[in-house]
Amino acid sequence: MTDTIYSNDLPAVTPTRHNVPIVPVRDVVIFPTNEIVLTFARKESINAINQALAASPKHIAIFTQKNSEVDNPKASDLYTIGTLASVERTLKNEDELNVLVKGLKRVKLKGVNTAESVQLAEVEEVSETILFDEELEALGRRVSALFKDAVGMGKSVEFMNFMRLMGGVSASELSDQIAAVLNVNTATRQKLLETLDLKVRLYAINDLLTKEVKVLEIEKSIASKTQEKFSKSMKESVLRERLATIKAELGEDGDPEEQELDDLNEAIQKLKLPKKHKDKIQKEFNRLERMSSHNPEASYLRTYIENVLEMPWGNSTTDHVSLKSAEKILNLDHYGLDEIKERILEYLSVMKLKKSSNTTGGVSLPTILCFVGPPGVGKTSLGRSIARSLKRSFVKVSLGGIRDEAEIRGHRKTYVGAMPGRIVEGIKTAKSMNPVFMLDEIDKLGNDFRGDPSAALLEALDPEQNSEFSDHYLEIPLDLSQVMFIATANVLDTIPSALRDRLEVIRFSSYTTLEKFHIAKNYLVGKVAEKNGLKKNQLKLSDAVVKNIIKHDTREAGE
């Protein structure tokens, strides 16, 4: 940029008045020295252009509408500062007229003569305030450099116009030319047209251009990142196509084993696991992918990955804790047991209260219930009813006779025939991370040289620890804090004290003769008829027969 750009080449002039056709425009502001093509469709505007073409010089006054939706604007609907422009060229196109105009001077609207067929505007030229000093020169250089940077980052500008600006123009023309292409709204552009102090106008343009350059930098950064991702995707796509071609040449196209590996990989990508655990599974899959199918370890790895993928990571059923509904279901499924039902409803009440007061996430359950009583009193069926009232999945695991700790925690996956523990298998069967999980016959756990299963249960049943339950096979922490554990036992004596302390014991007593009678009449007769292929009305038992059966054939506890 040359030093002569900012010399005062505009001599002082006395304000001049003109009577020229007025042309209102929408959503566009014309600056002096601007050349732009405008399209007119309004009859009044086309007549004004035609009258200007017949006159000499071919001048029109262009004023921007305040509201672009007004079809027939009056003088009050226009901004008072506009531009005196010359009509350079026209092109008729059906009902429209395309006109090339060139801005000449800023003018102020003094009045409009509406008596003629074409509205004539009386306008007065307005002069700019220009003080040539070092500050103005520095501003011009700064704005010019910013404009060059914006164009370099992809701002759309007419090339010849850009080269002329970079070649050297006056500070006034520089400001008007850049103001015309700024990415701003009509009101802001009109304000720049109305700013007569050149230095103030350049400062405003500098601020707007700085913001636009910053936005362009961000857009360029986003485009670069997108291009990198696209390039990587294209590279992978090309390599996969080549790999498919190579496999087809080798006769390996459509290999079911390869398809199975692809399915496993796709499933791994969809896992709802933290990144570090997902990366671990991906690492194991990469090992499997590199192994020969004849390698014995490949089958272990494949089984491990399939077991991990079958877990319901992140899937939970929504609790429906309705005490009325729960009470109705408990009464429908079981006769009597009033104290036990009352305690279960209290438990569900606490659960509902904790849930309503917690808005940050999952709610740990109040405690672990343990139903203790003789066989046949309804411990297991009561657990099913609780699950039904909460609309949760129900899982039952029988612990009777288990002596190996690995049955609870699982085996190390490197062992032949290794499998997850009973708890992981139960969660997998439930297909939910918050089932009602019944640990049946917890009093019949054993122990020997292979470990103590009851000690392994301590972690699973402790609310302070079970959010990261460790299964030896999975090797991924398992959140059991939302699982509702219910234990059952016939006696408490054989349960280790450390485990018993974590349980809230609810005792079941044997049924009385009267309770057995009502249970038989209301619950059992229909079930027995159904099991034997009979309709309910085809099996009729008198009260005396039922009482006789109870007296002589239900000597066992609970029956």
Residue keyed to tokens 């030896």 = 472
Q: Enter the tokens of residue 266.
A: 């796709």
Of 125, 144, 161, which residue constitutes the final position of a domain?
125
Q: Are residues 346 and 383 in the same domain?
A: yes
**Which whole number is the average pLDDT over 291-298?**
77
**pLDDT above 80 (res 31):** yes
In a domain, 286, yes or no: yes
293 and 151, same structural domain?
no
Residue 20 domain boundaries: 3-125
Q: Are residues 333 and 482 in the same domain?
A: yes
pLDDT for residue 337: 76
Number of domains forming the structure of the chain: 5
**What is the DSSP secondary-structure string of 203-255?**
HHHHHHHHHHHHHHHHHHHHHHHHHHHHHHHHHHHHHHHHHHHHHHHTT-TT-
**Domain end residue (candidates: 237, 253, 269):** 253
Both 488 and 533 in one domain: the answer is no
Q: Do residues 486 and 342 share a domain?
A: yes
Question: Could you count the other beta carbons within 10 Å of the beta carbon of residue 330?
Answer: 22
Q: CB 25: neighbour CB atoms within 10 A?
A: 22
Calpha distance 213→219 (Å, rounded): 10
Q: How confident is the model at residue 100 (pLDDT cuts 50, 70, 90)?
A: very high
Q: Kindly state whether residue 189 falls inside one of the protein's structural domains.
A: yes
Higher pLDDT, 417 or 123: 123
Using a CB cutoff of 8 Å and minimum separation of 24, what contacts does 402-405 make?
Answer: 402/445, 402/446, 402/453, 403/445, 403/446, 403/447, 403/448, 403/450, 403/453, 404/448, 404/450, 404/451, 404/453, 405/450, 405/451, 405/452, 405/453, 405/455, 405/456
pLDDT for 360 equals 44
What per-residue confidence (pLDDT) applies to 255?
A: 61
Phi-psi map region of 15: left, alpha, beta (phi>0 left; psi -120 to 50 alpha)? beta
108, 231: one domain: no
**CATH code at 340?**
3.40.50.300
Task: Please state, rounded to an integer, the average pLDDT across all residues of the chain.
Answer: 82
pLDDT reported for residue 85: 92
Confidence of residue 516 (pLDDT cuts 50, 70, 90): confident
Tokens of 259: 């398809």
In a domain, 152, yes or no: yes
**Angle (nearest 5°) at CA 363 between 499 and 475:** 60
Q: Which pLDDT score, from 0 to 100, does residue 254 have?
A: 57
Q: DSSP letters along 451-489, please? A: B-HHHHHHHHH-TTTGGGBPPTTT-S-B--TT-EEEEEE
Asked, for residue 318, whether it belongs to a domain, the answer is: no
Shared-domain flag, residues 519 and 374? no
- Summarize pLDDT for 6-28 with one digit per residue, the tens: 344 445 556 788 888 988 998 89
* Partners of 17 in the β-ladder: 124
Per-residue pLDDT band for 63 (boundaries 50, 70, 90) equals very high
How confident is the model over 169-199, as pLDDT tens digits? 888 888 888 888 888 888 898 899 888 888 8
Residue 291 sits in the same domain as residue 407: no
Assigned domain for 558 exists: no
- Give the CATH number, domain containing residue 24: 2.30.130.40
The secondary element (H helix, E strand) that includes residue 398 is strand 394-398
Task: Please provide the distance, in angstroms rounded to a whole number, between the alpha carbons at the two ends of the chain.
Answer: 105
Between CA 148 and CA 125 the distance in angstroms is 32
Amino acid at 251: G
Q: Range with the lowest mean pLDDT among 91-95, 294-298, 341-345, 429-433?
A: 294-298
Of 93, 125, 157, which residue constitutes the final position of a domain? 125
376-392 mean pLDDT:
85
pLDDT greater than 50 at residue 543: yes
Average pLDDT over every residue of 220-239: 77
Statement to judge: residues 263 and 291 lie in one domain: yes
- Domain-located, residue 89: yes
- For residue 274, whether the previous peptide bond is cis, meaning omega lies within 30 degrees of 0, is no
* DSSP H helical ranges for 362-482: 379-390, 406-409, 422-430, 453-461
Contact indicator for 28, 184 with CB cutoff of 8 Å: no
Same-domain pairing of 302 and 411: no
Residue 196 lies in a domain: yes
Answer yes or no: do 362 and 494 share one domain: yes
Cβ-count burial 233-268 (b if 16+ within 10 Å, e if not):
eeeeeeeeeeeeeeeeeeeeeeeeeeeebeebeebb
Distance CA(384)–CA(333), nearest Å, equals: 10
Length of the chain counted residue by residue: 559
| CB 49 within 8 Å of CB 99 | yes
Is the pLDDT at 2 greater than 50, yes or no? no
For residues 352 and 501, membership in a common domain is answered with yes
pLDDT digits (tens, 9 = 90+) for 444-492: 887 776 677 888 888 888 877 888 888 888 888 888 888 889 999 988 8
Q: Let me know if residue 278 belongs to a domain.
A: yes
